[in-house]
């Protein structure tokens, strides 16, 4: 049965329902601070963080190591409690049993026994939930057909990741947390998983993923939230984040000096790369117009938007 034909019980609004941004959130962190350590030497994993996830959206939570991503997910899973502020999932405390049956998670440190077969793991996890997905559906969604009778311990790293993804789906959840879901997968397996994640979201399921593969966030996410030192520093669509983080790169051969270029409005940096000059500017069109006016010999002109990776580095370098 194709994934799209599975009868999911979700809060999916009708196709002509409100846009994602106007739907009631299914999960929120409101003014959440999470402090570890003693009062005299505290570590603030999260610092008054606000976050909302709406039905049917894929949100990528990005940030450097130690930014607080796993802490945010653990709070929404009810595995830890906030020091202050509140975590709500489907309008309730995330630790409530009824809430937890509607949530699935694939965590970085998931440890399951190597000595059970894939199908045995799936049976075990399905038994925890009132309305689990069928085994054939899970095998197909997570692309596990053909390896269901192998011991978990005998699988490759990428296959193990797919089993952990499958376990997150066993309970037919409405909200799915994927912490670094494609670590260790080759590019084909990764793209296959992206397709399945998109189909889940198209059915109204909400997905929060963390990843260090920025092209993954770019390809998958409706919205990216960048956090650093426990705070949200930027939020928007992948295109918005790229646009708002330092501008575009103009590459050309020009006789204009670095001093002249640096003095043009909206220019943020000027570098030399062999024969070429690279100018970064927030209003690239105006800068190019001015450069062409001042230098009739200008040649080899290219203008590029920053990659998400450049935007991310610019946002988190402080």
Ligand X SMILES: Nc1ncnc2c1ncn2[C@@H]1O[C@H](COP(=O)(O)OP(=O)(O)OP(=O)(O)O)[C@@H](O)[C@H]1O
Q: List contacts with ligand X (CB under 6 A).
A: 36, 43, 45, 63, 65-71
b/e map 123-157, b = 16+ CB within 10 Å: eebbeebeebbebebbbbbbbbeebbeeebeebee
* Minimum CB distance to ligand X, residue 165 (Å): 18
The C-alpha atoms of residue 83 and residue 145 are separated, in whole angstroms, by 44
Closer residue to ligand X (CB): 31 or 66:
66
Token pair listed for 62: 């990005």
Q: DSSP alpha helices (H): ranges in the chain?
A: 69-76, 97-100, 118-126, 135-141, 157-169, 187-202, 214-220, 238-243, 258-262, 284-294, 308-316
Closer residue to ligand X (CB): 122 or 226:
226
Q: DSSP alpha helices (H): ranges in 22-156?
A: 69-76, 97-100, 118-126, 135-141
* Minimum CB distance to ligand X, residue 236 (Å): 19
* Minimum CB distance to ligand X, residue 230 (Å): 7
* Minimum CB distance to ligand X, residue 213 (Å): 12
Closer residue to ligand X (CB): 45 or 103:
45
Closest CA to 55 of 8, 6, 107: 8
Closer residue to ligand X (CB): 70 or 280:
70
* Minimum CB distance to ligand X, residue 81 (Å): 12
Give the strand pairing for 231-236 and 206-210.
unpaired
Closer residue to ligand X (CB): 67 or 133:
67
């Amino acid at each position: 049965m194709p994934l799209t034909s599975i009868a999911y019980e979700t809060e999916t609004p009708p196709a002509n329902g409100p846009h994602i941004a106007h739907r009631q959130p299914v999960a929120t962190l409101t003014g959440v601070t999470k402090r570890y350590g003693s009062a005299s030497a505290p570590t603030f994993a999260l610092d008054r963080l606000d976050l909302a996830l709406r039905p049917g959206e894929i949100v990528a939570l990005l940030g450097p190591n130690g930014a607080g991503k796993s802490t945010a997910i653990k709070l929404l899973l009810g595995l830890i409690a906030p020091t202050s502020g509140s975590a709500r999932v489907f309008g309730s405390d995330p630790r409530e049993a009824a809430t937890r049956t509607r949530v699935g998670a694939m965590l970085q440190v998931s440890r399951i026994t190597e000595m059970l077969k894939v199908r045995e793991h799936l049976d075990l996890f399905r038994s925890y939930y009132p309305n689990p997905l069928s085994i054939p559906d899970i095998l197909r969604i997570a692309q596990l057909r053909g390896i269901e009778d192998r011991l978990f311990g005998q699988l490759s790293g990428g296959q193990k990741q797919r089993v952990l993804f499958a376990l997150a789906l066993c309970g037919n959840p409405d909200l799915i947390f994927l912490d670094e879901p494609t670590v260790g997968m080759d590019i084909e397996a990764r793209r296959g998983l992206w397709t399945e994640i998109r189909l889940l979201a198209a059915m109204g399921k909400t997905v929060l993923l963390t990843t260090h593969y920025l092209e993954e966030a770019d390809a998958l996410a409706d919205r990216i939230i960048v956090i650093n030192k426990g705070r949200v520093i930027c939020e928007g669509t992948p295109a918005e984040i790229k646009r708002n983080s330092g501008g575009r790169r103009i590459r050309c051969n020009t006789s204009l000096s670095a001093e002249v270029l640096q003095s043009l409005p909206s220019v943020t940096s000027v570098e030399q790369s062999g024969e070429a000059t690279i100018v970064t500017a927030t209003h690239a069109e105006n800068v190019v117009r001015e450069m062409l006016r001042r230098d009739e010999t200008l040649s080899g002109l290219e203008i590029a938007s920053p990659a998400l990776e450049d935007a991310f580095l610019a946002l988190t370098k402080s």
